[in-house]
Copies of this chain bind each other. A is one copy, B any other.
Amino acid sequence: MHTLADIATRFGLELRGDATVTIIGVNTLADAKSDQISFLANTIYRAQLATTRAAAVVLAEKDVAMVTGAALVSRNPYADFARIAALFERCEPASPGIHPSAVIAADAVIDASARISAYCVIGARSRIAAGAELGPGCVIGNDCDIGAHARLVARVTLVARVKIGSRVLIHPGAVLGADGFGLAFDQGAWLKVPQLGGVVVGDDCEIGANTTIDRGALGDTVLEDDVRLDNQIQIGHNVRIGAHTAIAGCAAIAGSTRIGRHCLIAGGAGIIGHLEIADRVTVGAMSLVTHDLREPGEYVSGTPIQPKREWRKNAARFGQLDQLARRVRKLLGERNDE
């Protein structure tokens, strides 16, 4: 249990309002009760400041006037709210040790402070560092390294030659280090190209549920530190992703593309192979990147959603757009090429 005063002090926030209220949790503006803290970080919820019953709201100075109860003034309300919320997270620390059902290669090295849960399988020459936790059903192949305090929640697979940094968090169903999709067409059929590289994941990365990261064909697929991947993302072989880049669900990056630092790739976006994406590039939802993006900024492809009746007419015209443009040039007395 924490008073508002405790919380303000602990996180260096300026409190405006009754400091003695006891706080037992956090919640949204809409659902907060009088002993919970809420926050405002997305302006579409600003109107809810007038009606929230929250004991206090973490918000920016500019929004303080709109709140009716107590305010915790923050320069970064979402980050400070995250820190406060962590106070109320139910943590059931995993005890170290190796479950008797785990199948571990004779030459694997497991730190005594690591936890290996039921039905994990760990391959030859793999190493699990201090404080790392493998939840139930993880399969770790040969020549893998799992860093200190990394956590594989459950049913994570590292196929071979996958190095995971410290404090990396990997959600269930993720598969790292599967063969890249390398095929040569020869004499009427596909020939598999050996995938000889590995995967290297930096410190503090997070990898979502059912996300796949293939190992390199030659050299490694690399995530630098603090890369954050949501669920069901596909990362092709030999991709490199710069530090602090975040990628939302269902995005896909094809082989050998290099993405800069501090990029934001929205959900369902695609980036074809062998491209260079600069630092601080933002790619819109379901946009497809087909050439290098050398300047920071926001990039988008696609068309707006419309009622089908209208869309159908416009889409049909898209199929004749070149012709339309030529006719306009003609009307303007300009020459059409070709």
In the complex, the answer to whether B317 meets A190 with C-beta atoms within 8 Å is no
Copies of this chain in its oligomeric complex = 3
Q: Assuming A234-B250, A254-B267, what are 20 further A-B pairs, CB within 8 angstroms?
A: A31-B219, A41-B184, A79-B191, A88-B194, A89-B194, A119-B121, A154-B159, A210-B232, A267-B270, A268-B270, A272-B285, A283-B305, A284-B311, A286-B288, A298-B307, A299-B305, A300-B306, A301-B311, A313-B321, A317-B322
With A252-B250, A254-B267 already in contact, the answer to whether A171 and B175 are too (CB < 8 A) is: yes
Q: List, sorted by A's number, 25 A–B pairs whose CB atoms are closer than 8 Å.
A: A27-B218, A76-B185, A78-B184, A82-B182, A92-B142, A101-B101, A137-B139, A154-B159, A155-B155, A157-B173, A173-B175, A175-B209, A183-B228, A190-B226, A212-B232, A252-B267, A298-B308, A299-B307, A300-B305, A303-B315, A310-B319, A314-B318, A314-B320, A324-B324, A328-B328
Is the Cβ of B178 less than 8 Å from the Cβ of A231?
A: yes
Say whether B321 contacts A327, CB under 8 Å. Answer: no
Task: From the candidates B250, B290, B303, B324, name the one contacting A325 in the complex (CB within 8 A).
Answer: B324
Stretch of A12-20, A62-70, A126-134, A241-249 on the interface side: A241-249
A279: min CB distance to chain B, Å: 13
In the complex, are the beta carbons of B249 and A175 less than 8 A apart?
Answer: no
Closest approach, in angstroms, between the C-beta of A75 and any C-beta of chain B? 9
* With A82-B192, A175-B173: A318-B318 Cβ-Cβ less than 8 Å: yes
Whether A185 and B79, one on each chain, are in contact in the complex, defined by CB atoms closer than 8 angstroms, is: yes
Contact of A299 among B82, B142, B157, B306 (CB under 8 A): B306
Q: Which of B172, B228, B286 contacts A190 (CB 8 A)?
A: B228
Q: Which residue of B lies closest to A249 (CB)?
A: B234
Residues of A in contact with B (beta carbons under 8 Å apart): 25-28, 31, 41-42, 44, 76, 78-79, 81-83, 85-86, 88-90, 92, 99, 101, 103, 117-119, 121, 124, 135-137, 139, 141-142, 153-155, 157, 159, 169, 171-173, 175, 178-179, 181-186, 188-194, 196, 204, 206, 208-210, 212, 214, 218-219, 226, 228, 230-232, 234, 236, 244, 246, 248-250, 252, 254, 267-268, 270, 272, 274, 283-291, 293, 297-308, 310-322, 324-325, 327-328, 331-332
What residues of B have a CB within 8 angstroms of the CB of A219 in the complex? 27-28, 31
Residues of chain B with a CB closer than 8 A to A193's CB: 78, 81-82, 85
With both beta carbons as reference points, the residue of chain B lying nearest to A230 in the complex is identified as B181
Chain B residues whose CB sits within 8 angstroms of the CB of A101 once the complex forms:
101, 103
The verdict on A325 contacting B315 (CB below 8 Å), with A172-B178, A192-B206, A249-B254 known, is no
